[in-house]
Amino acid sequence: MLPEITPQQLKERLDQQEPLQLIDVREPQEWDICHLGGQLIPLGDLPKAAATLDKDKVTVLICHHGFRSAQALMFLQQRHGFTQLLNLKGGVHAWAQEVDPNFPVY
């Protein structure tokens, strides 16, 4: 079972200004439609960008529906020893449905 965070839990933590590292693993054209902030690192670029990430910060991985971000989580966990990772359950699509009805969907 992958460690997950629901959109509502993420909103609460962002509202409390917790120092989270948000990593969006979608493609640039998807990011241009909508994003939650953080850093865009497309899944294919993650292997070369992993060393630039802060292992000590709680890191939330984000994608469209939660599948690519789950792959990113497993990669960072297994190949780079990250331990503080959370997958945004349902991705930005779930964020739009559960947190912000005005958030763009595609």
Q: Give helix 7-15 / helix 91-98 axis angle, nearest 10°.
A: 80
97, two tokens: 């449905």
Determine contact, residues 25/73, Cβ cutoff 8 Å: no
Angle at 35 between CA 14 and CA 64, to 5 degrees: 105
- Starting at the edge strand that comes first in sequence, how are the strands of the sheet with 59-62 ordered? 4-5, 85-88, 59-62, 21-24, 39-40
**Catalytic pick from 63, 70, 92, 96?**
63
Say whether 63 is catalytic: yes
Active site residues: 63
